[in-house]
Each structure stands twice: as structure tokens, then as C-alpha cells.
Amino acid sequence: MKKIFIAIVLLVFGFRTFADEGMWLPLLLGEQVYSNMVKKGLKLTKEQLYSINKASIKDAVIIFGGGCTGEIVSSEGLIFTNHHCGYEAIAAASSIQHNYLHDGFYAKSKQEEIPAQGLYADFLLKIEDVTKEVEDSAKELSGAERAAKVQAAVTAINTRYSDETKSIIAKVSALFKGNQFLVFVYQRYNDIRLVGAPPESVGKFGGDTDNWEWPRHTGDFSIFRVYMSKEGKPSNYSPDDVPLKPKYYLPVSIKGFKDGDYAMIYGYPGGTNRYETSYGVKQKIDIDNPSLVTLRDVRLKFMFGQMKKDPAVKLQLAPEYANVANYWKFYDGESKQLIKYHIYDQKKNEEEKFREWAKGKPGFENIFPEWAKAYDTWRPYSKHRVYLIEGIFGSPLIDFAAALQQAEMALVKQGGGDIKKVMEELNAERKKFLESENKISDEEIVAATTMMFYNDIDKNQHPIGFYESLKGSFGNLKEESTYKKYAAALFGSTMIFDDAKWNAFNANPDAAVLQSDPAFAHAMAFLKNWQGKYFSFYKQFVTDNNELGRLYMKGIMQMDPKKTRYPDATFTMRVSYGNVKSYSPLDAVHYDYACTMKGVLEKYVPGDYEFDLPAKLIELANKKDFGQYLDKQKNDLVVTFITTNDITGGNSGSPVLNANGELIGLAFDGNYEALSHKIAYDAMYNRTICVDIRYVLWCIDKLGGAPNIINELKLVKPTAK
Ligand code: ARG
């Protein structure tokens, strides 16, 4: 009995020391982290993980389109990423006649691949530590002065390491809240082409109902290819370009895995705040998150109302809708989990320990009293800010109208630049805006958000005269109908929708004409009120919060100098290691580590917006036609699985690798129980949701009929017995 007890204690401790928390910099893995990876099961050398001289895994991992991760999987520059990462490009390549979003698409030859304008791939060339240079420039300064010096040093370093003529882009990243600076140097390729995607009913199966949830049955993948010039250089799209010859590409394993197996994820996590304060947690729970959710609720409702009526509108609004919906659900869940796991109290306790340590230490002892003051000063205006971003400027029309401020500045000579040039840019922006605009839902959004601002924001902070004049022309401010009439008038008379009026303005730009435009006037009433009276509070808060955060982090590192720490995510390359692992979300509930085709069919609802399926998928599934992709243990096709890896948004599309560095899946989501993960990693509940590479290949091969793509891959198959 006692022996078992000791064994259990050791196990728990063992688990703790190797907890799977951490988004590590592959450059600075250190012996301790590397040896933990090996203990967990890794079978590769450090050089194979990251090397600047030899080809290593890092060379196969790219920034995809500026916000996602992708990986190179063939000697001809083939990219795997998520369906939701390729979503905009797939929608842009589609029309009602050739609706690739709806029907899926596979290029059967390179000639059929579709140029994806605006997409790019960044390959990491090297990382260097530039902390000393940045620190030397800022010396003993603090606050805004320090921030300005740091900014100047960072800009100088970026310029020095970048070379536009070679498409080399350098970005300094401030790590450990500005206590360390690394420069990341990338090679950018701009000729990216769409190679394949499953129908949306597979790639987004489960829609927003299943988003951020496990169990999950989504085939969230899409396929692209990087091209280069004939001379082997980065190039903008040209029909003469040839497929990239990558330094390294990932082998793809169809051998399968089991619960507990090693799993490792490379990629570009966007942002975390694991050293967020109790004040910050409270601010999120009380004000920021609920405000955002309330406003997005309304916008989504109006957009969806039009999308479900008309497939053309659906295609037009789908990418924007998906983005808004994704973080609407995220922030709602984040608040719930922060409360459930008592993160506020946890932070309070950590801060108490810090305060004890900081007593009598100049530079550290006043951090928390000052932080409290910074929040107290900012808090009264914080809701106003969310209501502008998510409410007033959540209307695409009003957001575009705000961009016209540049023209006004040029016209009244306030340094807005040359009006001709400004108008050229605005004409191009207007064209884009009109292509993506749905007037019906947008008009509803303007009416609703104008009313919500009136009701929910402190009257003292309203733009002066705005609501009085609205009342004068349209009636009682308590009535919804007032705002509807107002929005209708605004939409009916703005020059932004009226080519004749716009062209006249364009030919002869005039400040008075612009200022009398109702959409512009609406945008300016709110924007100028903010800029004139409240922006300075925000700026001060950001400066204080950053500076106090830097000092707090510095103190924490002095308090416990031996501890191995990973820096918060900053959209720089990280590696996270852990295991494939089942979990228990609730008492008496067990979640298996994998979902199978059986579950896909169980969720199927014919004709449903989120749970419909392609007829061919059902046919193949019923025949159990899974070929070499069948999972022997489950005797079914494994579609998705979960791991303990620590990742976040930006990691979407990331390669999930086994102990040999072979691709076994693509990370595409986090689970609901761990939506507080940006602020605190929970070892019990945190899971990464991945699409199994065997499902991806089955979709391409059997469902998509594109064996040409499979033939490009380096498959690792089970050895015949
Ligand atoms: N939650 C996923 C992520 O942030 C995005 C999934 C997109 N799907 C959706 N139903 N909106 O990476």
C-alpha cells in the first residue's frame, strides 16, 4: 500500500516537472527542456529540431498568410494548413458557378492550381539575440521615454536585417514582456496557389456549434503550393514561376498512434498573457469580454439572417462571419473558464507572494499599487472603447467611412498628404468595400449599435450633440424604430453607395461635401469624440501596463532565477511537446483521445447548415472504404484526435509530429474546457484538437479523387509483418 502511495506521489511529481505547458523557442530549447522532450519519447537530436546550418524541421514550418501556420510536405513546395486558414482564399477563388467553398476543389495537375492573391509564406531563416543593442539604447529610462527609445532601436534593427530586394523581412520580437529581444529573419514568398480543399461540409463540419469543442469531427485542412522564379528566387505571381524546392519537408506517417504517444507541435502561436494580473483578469471578466460578446451577438445575428437566405450573400459574408463568430465564442468561453477555475484568486495569491518578496526593493515594491491606479484611471472609459471597435465600427460601412478622415485631413491641410494620392487609395478601398458589402445586414447593424451605445455607455461620454440631433430628426431615443429610421436615411443618402455622387466628389474633392455626408458624419462624431477626449487615457494605460508588466516579469525572474521559463507567445516560432491524451471534462465523463467516422455519421443532419455531408462521403463511409488509412485499433477511420500540447490562435494549421518528426495531424482548435488558456495553462483540461493526417489523405484520395497529391508525399507506412 505504502509503496503504491509513494509511486503515486512520484508519478504526480514526475508529471508536474514534465507538465506539458510551454511554447518554447526552438533556438533556446536548453538542455533541460530538450531532455524533458526525450524523456517524454522524442527520438530526434536537437540539431534535427532546429539548426541554422543544416536542414531541420524548422525549415518546413511556415507562417501562412500572416496569421496561421503551414507546413511543407513535398519536394515541390506543397503546403498543408487548415481549411479555416485557407477559407478566404477558397472563397475568393469561388463563384456561384464554381463554388469551391461548397463543393471542394482539387487540382489534378499544376496547371489547374489557382493563384491566391494576397497570400504569402514566410520561411524562418534565423533568430538572433539583440537584447544588448536594445537595452543600451534605452539605458535607465522608463515609461513613455523608454518605449520611444526601444521602438527606435527595434526599427533600426529591423531595417538593418531586412532586404526588400531579396524579399527578406526581419521582425524584432519583445519576449518576457520586453526583457529580451530577438530578431526573427524571414524569407517571404508571394506566389502561393490553391491546390485543394474539401467541401465546406467536411472542412467546417460542425460549424460554430462544434467550434472550440471536443468531441469533434471536422476535416479542417486545405492545400496550397509555394512557387518561386525560374532562378529560384521569391517572386510575385508569374505564369513562368516553378514550384519551390524546399530545404526540408515533412514525411507523413500513416502508421497511426495510440493514447499516450509522444506528440510535438511547431508553429506560430499569436499571443498569450500567462503573467496577466488579477486586475487584468477582472477587467476581462467584468467589462471587456461581455461587451464584445454582446455586440458580436447582434452583428452575427444580422449577418446570418441574410446569409441563410441567399447563397451569393453566404459566399460574400462567410469569411468575415467566421472570424467574428470564432472569437465571439472564444471570449464568452474564456470568461466562463476564468471564473470556473478561480483564476482571479490564483493571480491574487501569486501577486501576494511577489509583494512579500518586493518589500524594500526599490523598483519593485510599488509595482502593484501603481498598477491598481493605472486600472482605476482607465476603467471608466474601457467599455466605451469596446463599443467603438465592436459596435460603431463593427459596421463595415462606418468602418470604411472612418477611413475617409484621411481625405478630410488632406483637404483641410492637416498633414493628411496629397489629396490626389489619398483619393486613389480610397477609390481602391471603396471598390473592395463594395464587393464585400451586404447593405441589408449592415443597415441593421448601424441601427442596433447606435442604440446600444446610447443605452450602455455613460451619457457624459456621448459625442456632444449627436444624440440630441438624432432625436430632433428621428424621434424618441428609447425606441428602436428611431434608430432604424436614422440608419435608413444614412444608407439612402451617403455618397459611398452612390457612384454619381462619389465620382463627383472624386473629381472635385471638397471638405464641406465630405463633412455633410451622413456616413462620414456618423463615423466622425464617434471617432473625434474618442480621439479628442479619451484616447490619451488609453495611451497612458497601455504605456503604464507595459512598463509595469516588464518590471513585474523582471522581478519574477529575479525571485526564482533557476526556473526554466518560456516567453509568452508573440507570433514567433515555437515548439510545444506533450502526448496524445484522453481526458475527463466532468465527473463521470470520459473523453476518448480520438473521434472516428462513426461519429461523423452520427452527427449528420441532411440539409443542415452545419451538419450536412457530401453524399459521396456517406457512401464511402458506409462501405468502410478506408484503404490504407484505416486505424487498426479502432477498426474505423480516425478523423481527429487530441493532445496535451500548449498552443493558441496562430498555431492553426500547425504540424503535429510523432517522436520521429513525422506528420500525424494538423492542429486546428482548442477545447472549451481550456478557453482560459491564454492566461493560464491547465494541465488537467488543456487539449489541442487535431485533424488526423489519415483523414486528410482519405479526403484527398478517396473522397476527392486526387491521388496525384498523395503521390507527392513521402509516406511512412506500417512495416509488413
Ligand atoms: N477555433 C478555430 C481557431 O481559432 C477556428 C475554427 C474555425 N471554425 C469556425 N466554425 N469558425 O483556430
CB atoms within 10 A of CB 542: 14
Mutate to test the pocket of ligand 1, among 272, 326, 330, 654 (most ligand atoms within 8 A of CB): 326
Looking at the CA of residue 82, tell me the nearest atom of ligand 1: 12
**Ranges in the chain, pLDDT < 50:** 1-18
| The pLDDT value given to residue 65 | 96
Which residues are catalytic, by number?
A: 84, 220, 652
Tally DSSP H helices, then E strands, for the chain: 28, 22
| The pLDDT value given to residue 305 | 98
Distance, in Å, from the CA atom of 7 to the CA atom of 658, rounded to the nearest integer, reads: 28
Residues in contact with 231: Cβ distance below 8 Å, sequence separation at least 6, in sequence order: none
Distance, in Å, from the CA atom of 675 to the CA atom of 338, rounded to the nearest integer, reads: 8
Residues in contact with 496: Cβ distance below 8 Å, sequence separation at least 6, in sequence order: 397, 400, 401, 430, 433, 502, 517, 519
The reply to whether the predicted model has a pTM over 0.75 is yes
Q: How is residue 569 annotated by DSSP?
A: P
Mutate to test the pocket of ligand 1, among 218, 327, 603, 652 (most ligand atoms within 8 A of CB): 652
Q: Which triple of cell numbers denotes residue 397?
A: 460601412
Mutate to test the pocket of ligand 1, among 81, 85, 200, 211 (most ligand atoms within 8 A of CB): 211
**Minimal-distance CA residue to ligand 1 atom 7:** 84
Looking at the CA of residue 327, tell me the nearest atom of ligand 1: 4
Per-residue pLDDT tens digits for 498-521: 999 999 999 999 999 999 999 999
Distance, in Å, from the CA atom of 269 to the CA atom of 84, rounded to the nearest integer, reads: 16
| Separation of CA 649 and ligand 1 centre (Å) | 9
| Separation of CA 192 and ligand 1 centre (Å) | 22
| The pLDDT value given to residue 643 | 98
Which secondary structure element, helix H or strand E, spans residue 532, and what is its range?
helix 518-533
| Separation of CA 467 and ligand 1 centre (Å) | 38
| Separation of CA 406 and ligand 1 centre (Å) | 34
Q: Which triple of cell numbers denotes residue 584?
A: 475527463
Q: 153 and 133 in contact (C-beta within 8 Å)? A: yes
Q: 106 and 244 in contact (C-beta within 8 Å)? A: no
Q: Which triple of cell numbers denotes residue 377?
A: 484611471
E strands present in 48-120:
61-64, 68-72, 78-81, 105-106, 114-115
Distance, in Å, from the CA atom of 252 to the CA atom of 256, rounded to the nearest integer, reads: 11
Nearest to 669 by CA among 10, 57, 82: 82
Q: 375 and 368 in contact (C-beta within 8 Å)? A: no
Residues in contact with 418: Cβ distance below 8 Å, sequence separation at least 6, in sequence order: 410
Q: Which triple of cell numbers denotes residue 591?
A: 473523453
| The pLDDT value given to residue 520 | 98
Q: Which triple of cell numbers denotes residue 268?
A: 506560430
The amino acid at residue 186 is Y
Looking at the CA of residue 211, tell me the nearest atom of ligand 1: 10
| The pLDDT value given to residue 140 | 85
| The pLDDT value given to residue 143 | 87
Cell 477511420 -> residue: 637
Looking at the CA of residue 207, tell me the nearest atom of ligand 1: 10
Residues pairing with 62 in the sheet: 70, 123
Mutate to test the pocket of ligand 1, among 317, 324, 669 (most ligand atoms within 8 A of CB): 669
Distance, in Å, from the CA atom of 220 to the CA atom of 225, rounded to the nearest integer, reads: 17
**Minimal-distance CA residue to ligand 1 atom 2:** 669
| The pLDDT value given to residue 187 | 98
Q: 202 and 691 in contact (C-beta within 8 Å)? A: no
Q: Which triple of cell numbers denotes residue 388?
A: 467603438
Q: 44 and 264 in contact (C-beta within 8 Å)? A: no
| Separation of CA 669 and ligand 1 centre (Å) | 6
Looking at the CA of residue 326, tell me the nearest atom of ligand 1: 11
| Separation of CA 276 and ligand 1 centre (Å) | 24
**Minimal-distance CA residue to ligand 1 atom 3:** 669
| Separation of CA 202 and ligand 1 centre (Å) | 14
Q: 206 and 672 in contact (C-beta within 8 Å)? A: no
Q: Which triple of cell numbers denotes residue 385?
A: 472603447
Buried b (16+ CB within 10 A) or exposed e, 298-323: bbbebbbebbeeeeebbbbbbbbbbe
**Minimal-distance CA residue to ligand 1 atom 8:** 211
Q: How is residue 180 annotated by DSSP?
A: E
Buried b (16+ CB within 10 A) or exposed e, 204-218: bbbbbebbbbbbbbb
Q: How is residue 587 annotated by DSSP?
A: T
Looking at the CA of residue 323, tell me the nearest atom of ligand 1: 11
Ligand 1, pocket residues at CB < 6 Å: 84, 204, 207-208, 211-212, 322, 325-326, 649, 652, 668-669
| Separation of CA 212 and ligand 1 centre (Å) | 7
Distance, in Å, from the CA atom of 490 to the CA atom of 498, rounded to the nearest integer, reads: 12
